[in-house]
Structure 1
Amino acid sequence: MLIPEQYPAFHKKTLVVVSDHVHAKLFLGNDREFTFITEFKTDYPSHEGGDRTSMVTPGGQHSAEKNEKEFMLGEDHLFHRLAKNLYERLEKNEFEDLIIAAGQEVHQLEKMLHHDVQARITKLIPKLLTKMNDDQLLEHLF
């Protein structure tokens, strides 16, 4: 997509990561181009929007506790895959700057990144932007 004139151009190849606990999207901003690259999804089930009920399982554990553990495992697995992918992309010189929007988990994701990748971060956005279209996303980036 061509970036509208009301927004500045990307002066360096900038990788933009937009993530929540279920999936992450990667975009590349370069000059006036903004391009979707790929999407990662967790292998663990999402409980987003589902009813939360609690009952004691035969093992004595509350099912809500089990659901919370699955949620944390899924998020952790997604962030590890994402961190590995970002390092591989940096090694291939696919980007110079990095912007991450990951809701409240933005700092958790930042800590999982290799220090060379962390050094490329120019902006951390503690907002969930995964459901926004490209125009709305650009509003938050600039």
Structure 2
Amino acid sequence: MLTIYNNMFFDNYLEFLNTLNVHNNIDSLGYSYRDGEPVFDNFSFYNAILFLYHIDIKPADVRLQKLKNLTDYMKFFIFREKSDLSKFKSEWLLLITRKYVQERISKIKPLKKIIEMELKKDFNEEIAKIYTSYYLKID
């Protein structure tokens, strides 16, 4: 049933997301800070990411190319290893802390080194917890 729903309505859902993204300033962060931690300005994108991960949409799915006005962190969570990882900020890990999202993005091999370098430069206890939970697993 979920596959039927996915195939029938997914393009419409992407169009809906574009209506939400139309006012995004792609040169801005796309989130703000509260008590020094990144937080979503609204939860539309958060819910969209949870949905996309839950129905297991792959980053290479060509339909995702229809999404417009995406900020760098949005591109990262949608396209994962296909995104420009040179723009990755480890603080993005604090935006979506759901286990199934963290498990998927932890499979992006270069992230381990990027996060490690950022932690050495500017230690953050919450990011360090995510790093040790998901990125230091024995292969």
Taking structure 2 as the reference length, what is the TM-score of the superposition?
Answer: 0.29
The answer to which structure, 1 or 2, has the higher relative contact order (CA under 8 A, 6+ apart) is 1
Q: Quick check: which one's helix share is greater?
A: 2
Larger Rg: 1
Taking structure 1 as the reference length, what is the TM-score of the superposition?
Answer: 0.28
